[in-house]
Amino acid sequence: MYEKLFALASIATPFWLLMMLLPSWRVTRFLANSAIFPIYLAVLYAVGIVAAIGSMGFGFMQDFGSVEGVIRLMSNPDFALLVWLHILCFDQAVGHYVYRDNMEHRYVPLPVQSILLFLILMFGPFGFLCYLALRAIRKRAKVR
């Protein structure tokens, strides 16, 4: 089942391409305003986590408290795919936020936005941190 959820998650990939390559296109803006892809990935994750809790119970949560426990969880292929869905969902949500925030306020030029979205897709928190730093610099420069 988790492999099926993983395959279904790939449908959200074109939205990344639209945000990066065609950020001003009305279809891209419509999809961003509807938040359909972050919601879609969240639903897939919810299905997966409910299935995991149904089969494993809540006991797996105790493994989050130790390095050994997390490694044990990640060594389970089904759980690793579920974690990957979790990552995809949050990366999509953060990319979606950055896209909408920057399209509204234009803290960075669109080519830079595209690079930042790529960084978010590939390196999640690092790309988000880069966006927040550039946004803070631009905000500070506007105040002066």
pLDDT digits (tens, 9 = 90+) for 123-138: 999 999 999 999 999 9
What are the pLDDT digits (tens) for 6-63? 899 999 999 999 999 999 999 999 999 999 999 999 999 999 999 989 888 887 787 7
For every residue of 83-121, DSSP letters joined together read HHHHHHHHHHHHHHHHHHHHHHH-SS-HHHHHHHHHHHH
pTM, to two decimals: 0.89
Answer yes or no: are the C-beta atoms of 98 and 113 closer than 8 Å. Answer: yes
Q: Minimum mean pLDDT among 69-78, 85-94, 113-122: which range?
A: 69-78
pLDDT in the model for residue 75: 92
pLDDT in the model for residue 68: 92
Neighbouring CB atoms inside 10 A of 116's CB total: 24
Amino acid in the structure at residue 88 = L
pLDDT in the model for residue 94: 97
Q: Name the phi and psi angles at 49, rounded to 5.
A: -70, -35
Answer yes or no: are the C-beta atoms of 3 and 82 closer than 8 Å. Answer: no
- pLDDT band, very low/low/confident/very high, at 110 (cuts 50, 70, 90): very high
Amino acid in the structure at residue 83 = V
